[in-house]
Structure 1
Amino acid sequence: MSVRLWLMGGSMPLFSEQDNPASFSPHLLTRMLTYSYLLSFNAWLLLAPVVLCYDWQVGSIPLVESLVDIRNVSTVLLAVVMVALCLSCLFSLQGQGSREMLVGMLFLMFPFIPASNLFFRVGFVVAERVLYMPSMGYCILVAHGLGRLCSLNNVWRSREALFRSGIQTLPHNAKVHYNYANFLKDNSRHQEAIHHYTTALRLYPRHASAMNNLGTLTRDPEEAERYYRKALATNPQHNRALFNLGNLLK
């Protein structure tokens, strides 16, 4: 910066009104609203770079001169998103994920500050070239966000994880207890299976399949027969209970 200032004779470059109309506006409100809107406009270029141009000077983007201008909505939305990201970084500074987010935020914001009109006047309204460095931070944030979204699906990694998640989410649902009990039964975890079959019956006393499966787990023939007959009393066409009761009587 020192060499640059020396080459420029110790003075800042001079720009005309057509280079950056907002910075020449006599109204502070217009300047602030337009500068703020240009931040959200640049953020939109990162999200959806479908409208690009080699020159954005003069009247390419009309000044935001009123608080009721609809474009202020995008400014507020950007502010909310940025505040949320910053708070997320602050509240989880010890985690690995928060460090990724912090690096992404720093790359996103700091390289753009010289082009933001906040500290000195620049010679353009919008220029895609100033988004090259911020796009690195944007890519880091997108990758981090996708990673977080993918990690939400861990419950589908295994049958047990899926059924356990159902019990955690809906502990009053008889079917999730029945499904988890089936998994436990298949893996010879019989005492746990009996507990969840019993829970399923407590929540839904007419669950014939739970009665039948409880009968297969008990070592007492009389108790097993009682469960099979109870299942058939609930559902006379329950083929597994008929088969199991027939085997037991034989």
Structure 2
Amino acid sequence: MADKTKKIIVTIDGPAGAGKSTVARAVAERIGLPYLDTGALYRAVAWKLNKEGIAPDEGERITKALASFNLELRPGGLCADGADVTAAIRTPEIDRIVSAYAARAEVRDALTGLQRAQAANGLVADGRDMGTVVFPEAELKIFLTASAEERARRRYRERRARGEDVDYDEILKQVVERDSYDMTREIAPLRPAPGCIILDSSDMDAEAVTDAIASLAVEFMGRKER
């Protein structure tokens, strides 16, 4: 496949627990494009601000703190101010607070430029506003969703596998609340991008979703080559 066919942008947006990160990472590997884990970036920001005692409503302090914040994307991980935070940002505590920070214009403005700078050679990016705000010119836009119940089951199984003592009903409540918050927030609300393909994965496993999106991406690569 010629290099020029690889320089497309694929965005995968959708609600929490839809499997965006797992699928996006697999699709990127399948079609030979870099993977941009945007969720990890927002989690790292939430980790830093929370660690420094800066609340989501403290706009001026957020701007000041992020002005000198150094994020470095590495294969399979993320460093924040020189420290590997790959594991630290994947905790229930960060799950609970990340949306409040991600809704701030100061945070989104700080990260939008960083995300766009990664796209020179094409990429696969997942998040909530990749196709609507960050990469509106993307050749292939996917809105990946699933029922709230199925997404809660996935989160429940993931946390149980990590040895956590969790309650399914509580996770379902959190998923529904997160959906409402993400869809109604003033800054970059969660919604399907114009021209996107909506894919419901409620009855699909990760491999089937990967196959479907990778096939679409290869088709779009072919169109670009012509």
TM-score category (smaller protein):
under 0.3
Q: Return the TM-score normalized by structure 1.
A: 0.22
Q: Return the TM-score normalized by structure 2.
A: 0.24
Q: Which has the larger radius of gyration?
A: 1
Greater relative contact order (Cα < 8 A, sep 6+): 2
Structure whose residues are more often strand by fraction: 2
Structure whose residues are more often helix by fraction: 1
